[in-house]
Amino acid sequence: MLNLQTVSTLTLTTPKGFKATGIHVGLKRKRKDLGLLVCEGGASAAAVYTTNQLQAAPILVTKQAIAQSGGRIDAVLVNSGNANACTGELGLTHAYTSQQAIANHLQIKPDHVAIASTGIIGQPLAIDTLVAGVSQLEAGEAEEEADAFAQAILTTDTGTKTAGYQFLINGIEVSICGVAKGSGMIHPNMATMLGFLTTDATVEPAVLQTLLKRSVDRTFNCITVDGDSSTNDMVMVLASGAAQAPTIELGTPEAEQFEQAMTHVCQQLAKRIARDGEGATKLIEVTVKGTDDEKLARKIAKQIVGSSLVKTAIFGEDANWGRIVAAIGSIEEPIDVTNIDIRIGSQTVLRHSMPVLFDETLASSELAADTVSIEVDLNSGLAVGHAFGCDLTYDYIKINASYRT
């Protein structure tokens, strides 16, 4: 097991071989809106995408690039302010134009370029503005450049979201770092949420895809803000191999180390997305244990944290455990409903599916904290699942009622 600790000074360009930048080109009124991530020697690439059937044009183009290149990506271009989703053939043309523009700028093959967009759905991308901005992009290794990329991908986020870890593989230091954006329309199921990871480990694309999918299932797919899956959700990982550590193969201790590190990075980013939910005042962490199926445990945890009634009770600092029970019972899979324990913070409120007297005043004070924990034990197995979300507030309505204005 790795002794993983968050290192705040690590950035997307900490892993060897990567450069980044972000600038303002005019897709948004003021803030940075165009970001570039580069691996000059080329990187193994893997990605997971939204399961929303109306996938945005950049998703389609990136899928094609990774397939055609055999899992090699040299650069990622990301714009914010416009999702380029539900824009028809014109949107697809704009996506290819964006890909070609950065390929020309960096003198690389178009199918070695991944692209991503986030922002308003259904409006044509200002492609001339974007292409003009591409010529201004000059990626660098400095921490400030990595931060500029993190800023350039934001929409309604209140701040950047980054995480990074370093560990040893056969005595060689390996870094894995990530950046994400997301605040509303967050209910990933892949995978407007984007995540990008960089690592200097040596991992072939097929192995990277397997490890990323497993990590995402336990992290990004376990968060929900509002129950809406975006047309643009994507998480991508690039592995440069520049640390020159041994190649990671599935079923080895090194693969287990790497997967654990990746999962921790993803979980940190996922929590930050959940805490930064539009209008949110609290992060809600739900743990479900006592099943014989980890996927079921995760599904129940996400059902709880995604319940509007649970979310509003947490906002109101009301330990209304009946709403939690209702969320559990709404799951489609059969469960033993006669032996459920529930704890809210330090207070046990249900034991063996029967109410327990608890300190309402203490419970309310704990619900006022920045992070609220809910634990459910079904007492039917050893599997454990987690999910993360946030409370539902008046400000969520204000933000989304005027999103386009």
Positions annotated as catalytic residues are 192
Helix H or strand E segment including 28 = none
The answer to whether 81 and 232 have CB atoms below 8 angstroms apart is no
> Can you tell me the distance from the alpha carbon of 210 to that of 248, in angstroms, rounded to the nearest whole number?
12
Tokens standing for residue 208 = 């990277």
Contacts of 221 (CB under 8 A, 6+ apart): 188, 189, 190, 191, 298
No. of helices (H) and no. of strands (E), the chain: 11, 15
3-state secondary structure 308-324: HHHHHHHHCCCCCHHHH
Give, in degrees to the nearest 5, the angle at Cα 217 between 369 and 73: 115
Nearest alpha-carbon partner for 27 in 98, 113, 133: 133
> Can you tell me the distance from the alpha carbon of 50 to that of 56, in angstroms, rounded to the nearest whole number?
9
Residue 196 is classified by DSSP as E
Placement of tokens 């899956």 in the chain: 229
Tokens standing for residue 143 = 């921490």
> Can you tell me the distance from the alpha carbon of 7 to that of 157, in angstroms, rounded to the nearest whole number?
22
